[in-house]
Structure 1
Amino acid sequence: MQKLSSGGLSVSSVVETVTQLVNPILDGHHFELVDAEFVKEGDGWYLRVFIDKPGGITIEECAMVSDELSEKLDSIDPDPIPQAYFLEISSPGAERPLKKETDYQNAVGKYIHVSLYQQIKKAKAFEGDLLSVTEDELTMKINQKGRISEITIPRENIAKARLAIKF
Structure 2
Amino acid sequence: MGQKDVVDKLFEVFEPFLKDMGYELLDVELTSDMGRQILRVTIYKTEGITFDDCIAVDKALDPILEELDPIPGSYNLEVSSPGLERTLKRDKEFEIFSGRECRVNLYAPVDGKRSFEGILVGLDRSADEESVVIRDEDGDIALPRHNVSKVQLVYKDQPW
* TM-score relative to the length of structure 2: 0.79
Q: How far is 1:24 from its partner?
A: 3.2
Could you report, residue by residue, the CA deviation over 1:83-140 in whole angstroms, capped at 9, with x for unpaired residues?
2221100100122333344432344432112222333344433322235641122333
Aligned partner of 1:12 in structure 2 is 4
Aligned partner of 1:129 in structure 2 is 119
Find the residue that maps to 1:69 and give its secondary structure.
helix
Q: How far is 1:13 from its partner?
A: 1.1
* Higher alpha-carbon deviation: 129-138 or 80-89: 129-138
| CA root-mean-square deviation | 2.4
Aligned partner of 2:58 in structure 1 is 66
Aligned partner of 1:6 in structure 2 is none
Residue identity over aligned pairs, in percent, reads 33
Contact 2:19 2:25 in 1 (8 A): no
AA aligned opposite 1:17? K
| 2:130 maps to 1:140 | no
Q: How far is 1:48 from its partner?
A: 0.5
Counterparts in 2 of 1:11 and 1:24: CA distance versus 1, 3 Å: same
* TM-score relative to the length of structure 1: 0.76
**How many pairs align?**
153
Counterparts in 2 of 1:75 and 1:102: CA distance versus 1, 3 Å: closer
Q: How far, CA to CA, are the matches of 2:4 and 2:150 in structure 1?
A: 18
**Match runs of 1:106-117 below 5 Å:** 106-117=96-107
Unaligned runs of 5+ in 2: none
Counterparts in 2 of 1:108 and 1:70: CA distance versus 1, 3 Å: closer
Aligned partner of 2:14 in structure 1 is 22
Pick the aligned partner of 1:90 from 51, 75, 80. 80
* Higher alpha-carbon deviation: 9-18 or 130-139: 130-139
Could you report, residue by residue, the CA deviation over 1:69-88 in whole angstroms, capped at 9, with x for unpaired residues?
12111123xx3101222110
